[in-house]
Amino acid sequence: MNPFEDRKFVILGIFFTVCLIFVGRLFYIQVVDESYELSANNQALRRVPQYPVRGLVYDRHGQLLVYNEAAYDLMVIPRQVGVIDTASFCELLGIVDTTFDNKMAKAKKFSRYKASVFEKQIPADQWAEISEKLYQYPGFYGEKRTLRKYPESVAANILGYISEVNPSDLDKDSYYRMGDYVGKLGLEKEYEKELRGVRGVRVQMVDVHNRVKGSFSDGEYDTLPISGENLISTIDRDLQVYGEKLMQNKRGSIVAIEPKTGEILAMITAPSYDPNLLVGRPRNENYKALQANDSLNPLFNRAINAQYRPGSIFKIVQSLVALDEGVITENTRFHCNRGIINCHGSHSYDDLVGAIQHSCNPYFWNVYKKLVQRGKYDNIFRDAAYGVDIWQRRVKQFGFGVELKTDLPNIKKGLVPGVEYYNRWYGERRWAFSTIYSNSIGEGEMLVVPIQMANLAAIIANKGYFYTPHLIKSIGRDSVKRTEFTTKNETDVDAKYFEPVTEAMYKVVNEAGGTARRARIDSIIVCGKTGTVQNDKWPDHSVFIAFAPMDDPKIAIAVYVEYSDFGGTWAAPIASLMIEQYLTGEIKRLDKEKRITDAIFLDIYEGKK
């Protein structure tokens, strides 16, 4: 018997098994799995992105702030572009020959075989004429996009803008592809993931002339885009429009908040710009022009990014901290000794309410001294460090020196200087109250942001607590609201200490000797506090915070007008008009309104006066 006889059956079995595997694999590839067919058809298919509709933005009453308008990107596949009449093509698009050459060179550099954008964001009315003649130019086709549009030319710094993704955006989020658009500032950036939706795709069959011959495989491989979520903002559009009107030809900001919720009713920064300037084909040129305006800087949101000394409005915080720390009572009196620090008015020996009403500087010089030099230690420097440490901690509970976690990106936090700051600046145990007393009246190293000032007004209206100021009431159909905006923040100041402060703020506006009589409204009880922030070479800044009505506050507000002098002269009447507009829906004091709208302070800053 041949010993190798059985081996041939083994070898035949192996060959048979291999053949069976190959046949099965070929059957799977050709009959079951269509991916190889798709790969083979790649040269005859075009995958057209289906961009989702970006979510809309409404004001608190359902009025539209941002909507979408149809636009088109003109795409090009360089390999498919034959000999065309360049002159007529350029005339159709409104470009010159050199622009055409540059755009084609850029497209070829990207890829000769893949589509890229030749001309971006062509408005629908222009596209209608272009699309009728596009068949004459093989290799070119359109992709539908949308443009953001603004029915009212307001709130530009709140809403922000969108622009094409850059390499950094692509690295941060794998969702994006070249040619996508992303929120770059304001609410567009903060709520990008909610607004953007989900991209879809349509697979089309095209012939050798790049003409669409229909949907591939009856649309089996198409996916529908998912629209972005709509946002309901906290903004009152009419109040926002009115505030921007009042701040024309001025530098500064207005922030108005609903105290019970922390919802921002209006946020004005001046100068500002028309948000429609940063939309469509002219966007890049307009953006460069806005950036080049260094003296006015309309792209800068002063309401959340400008850091100022607070001036006399900070006397409110000093009062509440000192009362709660027990270093004074509401009956504590100090002589208005103008030899230690300058003051104004005819008062001479006020209690706390009178000192706030008259904005007495020597009074708060003494209050701050009691907060800093507490007599805990015999060494004056060590004692000052002990006092400042407590003072800094208590002041930060009012939202100063910390970043308010609102829903606008890149908000500044200001500065509440503490022991570490002064040790670094002066040296350890080389400073005391006499070194830093300017903080007593808000003129030292303290820095605040306007949104923090409005939040202070809300805290007083609420008698000791606040909800983080925010701009969005709800997201999408389910009215979702971020949980951090429904969390109560406490100052730990006993509510009883807000009574004398509120009484004083009432007198500031409504009684003789008050520094904000221009803020008085006959039908509404307004409580407020003025501030005048010193400048070395320019007129002072005008500052005012307020809330109203006194017994059931519905609005808290801060106004900061740069280079305009006394707080009661300009900031106070602006706040008063805003309160009247919001609570009554109309302005009856037209003479006061005209005085504000006619006022121009930009030329003071620019050195023209």
Indicate whether 303 and 391 sit together in one domain. yes
Indicate whether 243 and 226 sit together in one domain. no
Q: 26-40, 376-390, 528-542, 552-566: lowest mean pLDDT where?
A: 26-40
Domain final residue, candidates 196, 213, 233? 233
Indicate whether 212 and 324 sit together in one domain. no
Indicate whether 479 and 532 sit together in one domain. yes
**What residue has token string 């305009």?**
564
The pLDDT, as a whole number, for residue 430 is 94
Indicate whether 257 and 209 sit together in one domain. no
* Overall domain count for the chain: 2
The pLDDT, as a whole number, for residue 521 is 96
Strands (E), 323-420: 334-335, 349-350
Indicate whether 180 and 248 sit together in one domain. no
Task: Summarize pLDDT for 42-82 with one digit per residue, the tens.
Answer: 557 778 888 899 999 999 999 999 999 989 999 999 988 88
Q: Is residue 120 part of a domain?
A: no
Indicate whether 385 and 415 sit together in one domain. yes
* CATH code (residue 154): 3.90.1310.10
Separation of alpha carbons 106 and 108, rounded Å? 5
Do 437 and 369 form a contact (C-beta atoms < 8 A)?
yes
- Which carries the bigger pLDDT value, residue 14 or residue 164? 164
Do 288 and 605 form a contact (C-beta atoms < 8 A)?
no
Q: Is residue 509 part of a domain?
A: yes
- Which carries the bigger pLDDT value, residue 229 or residue 214? 229
Length of the chain: 609
Q: Is residue 394 part of a domain?
A: yes
The pLDDT, as a whole number, for residue 39 is 47
Q: Is residue 487 part of a domain?
A: yes
Q: How confident is the model at residue 178 (pLDDT cuts 50, 70, 90)?
A: confident
Distances (CA, A) of 135 to 132, 138, 211: 7, 6, 8
Indicate whether 447 and 577 sit together in one domain. yes
Indicate whether 223 and 254 sit together in one domain. no
Task: Summarize pLDDT for 555-569 with one digit per residue, the tens.
Answer: 999 999 999 888 899
Indicate whether 242 and 303 sit together in one domain. yes
Residue 70, helix vs strand vs coil: strand
Q: Which residues contact 159 (CB under 8 A, 6 or more apart)?
A: 57, 65, 66, 150, 186, 187, 188, 275
Distances (CA, A) of 525 to 279, 516, 540, 586: 43, 13, 28, 17
Domain final residue, candidates 203, 233, 263? 233
Q: Is the bond preceding 271 in cis, omega lying within 30 degrees of 0?
A: yes
Q: Is residue 401 part of a domain?
A: yes
Residue type, 571: A
The pLDDT, as a whole number, for residue 5 is 59
The pLDDT, as a whole number, for residue 51 is 86
The pLDDT, as a whole number, for residue 294 is 61
The pLDDT, as a whole number, for residue 38 is 47
Q: Is residue 427 part of a domain?
A: yes
Q: Is residue 322 part of a domain?
A: yes
Domain final residue, candidates 233, 265, 297? 233
The pLDDT, as a whole number, for residue 497 is 98
Query: What kind and span of H or E run contains 53?
Result: none
Indicate whether 342 and 462 sit together in one domain. yes
Expressed as residue numbers, the domain containing 56 is: 45-76+144-233
Task: Summarize pLDDT for 487-526 with one digit per residue, the tens.
Answer: 999 999 999 999 999 999 999 999 988 999 999 999 999 9
Q: Is residue 171 part of a domain?
A: yes
Do 569 and 531 form a contact (C-beta atoms < 8 A)?
no
Residue 587 has pLDDT above 90, yes or no: yes
The pLDDT, as a whole number, for residue 150 is 93
The pLDDT, as a whole number, for residue 208 is 62
The pLDDT, as a whole number, for residue 146 is 85
pTM: 0.87
* CATH code (residue 428): 3.40.710.10
Do 561 and 506 form a contact (C-beta atoms < 8 A)?
no
Closest CA to 238 of 61, 475, 470: 61
Indicate whether 171 and 309 sit together in one domain. no
